[in-house]
Amino acid sequence: MSAYAVGQNLPSFFPPGYELCRASFTPQFLDLIYWLPSYQTDNMHTWEHAHLQYGVYEANHIPFLLFHFPAKGWRFDISLNAYAMHEDLFDSWLQSQQNTMQLLLSDCYSNVLLEVRTIEVDPYITNYIRKKLKEQKRHYPNAIDVQKRIEQIMDSTPTEEMMKKITMHKAI
């Protein structure tokens, strides 16, 4: 598992100042990084301590991880693109039974890591995601085609609509 420390600078490949969320495939399952546009104590506390629900929505061989902090009404999603994973790691990642996800909250202006939360994802969900990503690679020839489809899905289906169509699970 990657070792992260609150206060460290995270690398970013995006211009500063934008709220966004990205996933990184790891041997343990996934790391999710959420860049927040403001350094607010309330958001940091919510990220680390508040009740969190998660689920997975799938459309056209593309899984979207959905997250919801019910007490705050804070919802967000992250699409998964199998081509974002290094080719040498893909087969072993598909066969893995690991289910640990690190949720990293970073300031989008400075890239300073604000909070880290680790959850164990339901094994049914991790297996489902792996299955869908394997199908995704068979269905789409490259990352660009996957990204185009992700954008079409996101334009037509807001996060709230995705959440209405799935079962959310309590993060542990």
pLDDT, tens only, 72-106: 899 999 999 999 998 888 999 999 999 999 999 99
Residue 57 lies in a domain: yes
- Banded model confidence at residue 40, pLDDT cuts 50, 70, 90: low
Residue 11 lies in a domain: no
The residue range of the domain holding 101 is 20-170
Mean pLDDT of 48-73: 95
Mean pLDDT of 41-68: 92
For the entire predicted model, the pTM comes to 0.91
Residue 158 lies in a domain: yes
DSSP the chain: -----TTPBPP-SS-TT--EEEEEEETTEEEEEEEESS--HHHHHHHHHS--EEEEEEETTEEEEEEEETTTTEEEEEE--GGGS-HHHHHHHHH----EEEEEEEETTT-BEEEEEEEEPPHHHHHHHHHHHHHHHHH-SSHHHHHHHHHHHHHHS-HHHHHHTS--EE--
Residue-level pLDDT at 1: 53
Domain count, the chain: 1
Taking the C-alpha atoms of residue 143 and residue 12, their distance in angstroms, rounded to an integer, is: 20
Residue 1 lies in a domain: no
| Strand order through the sheet with 20-26 | 20-26, 29-36, 100-107, 113-120
Residue 7 lies in a domain: no
- Banded model confidence at residue 5, pLDDT cuts 50, 70, 90: confident
